[in-house]
Amino acid sequence: MASTTTSKQIVVASKNPVKIAATLKGFQRMFPNITCTTLGISVPSGVPEQPFTDAETLQGALNRAQNAREQAPEGDYWVGLEGGVEDTPDQTAGTLQSFAWIVVIDHEGGRIGKARTATFYQPEEVAKLVRGGMELGHADDAVFGRSNSKQSNGSVGLLTGDVIGREAYYVQAVILALIPFKNGTLSF
């Protein structure tokens, strides 16, 4: 039997090259026999520029995926990636958590996959700026003397000395969000 290669278009609800590359790598690792192309588009999240709770961040990722589907209905998958922060209730140093939600919607079955990245804590210098209304990427740039770090190594890369960069940080969560599509006969 001859092998056929399937091609799928993935619409990423962002023009950020890090998010687009992470999405493509996640799909390629989860579905190595499918040829994937990506299209990055800018769509609103429907949440504040800097989501400040877990629920708000998940809602932003879901909104982005749904808005991408409306704007580019020719896609096979729509992916929303939304980074967020949340203060923990304790009063110790390092109380501002950082994380991201990934939401994937498919064209054929109407399935939705969701996953959250690992969580890490921000230094107080960054946390104060974010609590004061600054978006995390801008706060990172101010504290670390960088420019547009969110389109390169991001907060996670700055804090780990690039042991984990922003792209790698997202790839694993993209893969986890694809579990319902890899296991199509199961209900999620």
pTM to 2 decimal places: 0.91
The residues pairing with 12 across neighbouring beta strands, listed in sequence order, are 40, 79
For strand 77-87 and strand 34-40, is the pairing parallel, antiparallel, or unpaired?
A: unpaired
Q: Residue 3: which residues within 8 A CB-CB, separation 6 or more? A: none
Rounded CA-CA distance 115/150 in Å is 20
CA distance 49 to 82: 10
Domains of the chain: 6-182 (3.90.950.10)
Encode pLDDT of 99-151 as tens digits: 999 999 998 767 899 999 999 999 999 999 999 999 998 998 899 888 877 77
Q: What is the pLDDT of residues 65-100, one digit of tens each?
A: 999 999 999 999 999 999 999 998 775 556 899 999
